Amino acid sequence: MIPANLQPLANHLWQSTLFAVPVALLALALRKNRAAVRYWLWLTASVKFLIPFSLLVDAGSRIQWRSHPAISQPQFSYAMDQIARPFAKLAAVPPQTAAPNAPVEFSTILLGVWLCGAAIGAVCWFRSWRRIHAAKRTASPLDLKLPIPAFSTPGQMEPGVFGIRKPVLLLPEGIMDRLTPAQLEAVFAHELCHVRRRDNLTAAIHTVVETIFWFHPLVWWIRARLVEEREHACDEVLLGKVGDAKDYAEGILNVCKLYLESPLKCVSGVMGSNLKKRVHSIILDLPPFLTQPVKTQNPFKGELSHGVIA
């Protein structure tokens, strides 16, 4: 039995889980559509965890309002309320049926477990952030004529964009010698696409959701969907703008082979999602709405140079 003080939270978790069901069905129905559409659908399911309707309703019910004559509730409305808040009916259970201190002790234990999990998640996130921040401080500036500052960092971390308000591109030392010019252009264009889409901001939002609701398996499943659709969305945008699809796929493969994935999920890099599935989509299974890739001399001229966060 759920204690009365935990029923609003239980209803919120139930509503957020229930909300993800139509999102998943809609994403499945749009699997032939743009990945960006599916990405925003999954982000909506993530943000729903931060909007506690049931907690707001419970807080509003505690405010004393002027009494009005009771109005009979329609049967359909009552049924929908029971579906949306299945744990509210437990409030009618007489408190004498359980030990007086049991609900308080159970709530305290749950609060302690949640605090431990949230603290571990926050510490792991902070350590990863500090590692990336330390790499940025020791990095050397590069003159690449890109819309955002670029730096060369020691170590084997993958190329990635760090920062939300003023993003910078972090590149591992020696990458210029390990990739061909065409592959480098593809990698740089991929990172600029993350900047234009503000993927670091949306990834940070879901990181907050993960830290708060670390115990919910659906939150981690949504994270996997977000990473997958985020990378597919960038692939789809760039396939019609930069070089040959083969150079683009080879650039991703070489980065995955030579470097380690960023430890911070808020750093948008080249890696992520199912690598085999991504390469197959890039080379063999282009979505029908994409035009054929057009070879260009410089992928950073024109549309890619605009709309970047300064």
pLDDT at 223: 94
Say if residue 174's pLDDT is above 80. Answer: yes
CA distance 20 to 36: 17
- Tell me the pTM: 0.76
CA distance 55 to 10: 10
Asked if residue 163 lies in contact with residue 201, where contact means CB atoms within 8 angstroms, the answer is no
CA distances from 50 to 108, 206, 210 (A): 22, 10, 11
- Going by C-beta distance under 8 Å and a sequence separation of 6 or more, which residues neighbour residue 50? 205, 208, 209, 212
- Going by C-beta distance under 8 Å and a sequence separation of 6 or more, which residues neighbour residue 223? 46, 206, 210, 265
**Can you give the residue ranges of every domain in the chain?**
4-47+85-91+102-305
The overall average pLDDT reported for the chain is 77
pLDDT at 74: 61
Main-chain dihedrals φ then ψ at residue 163, nearest 5 degrees: 110, 155
More confident residue, 92 or 67: 67
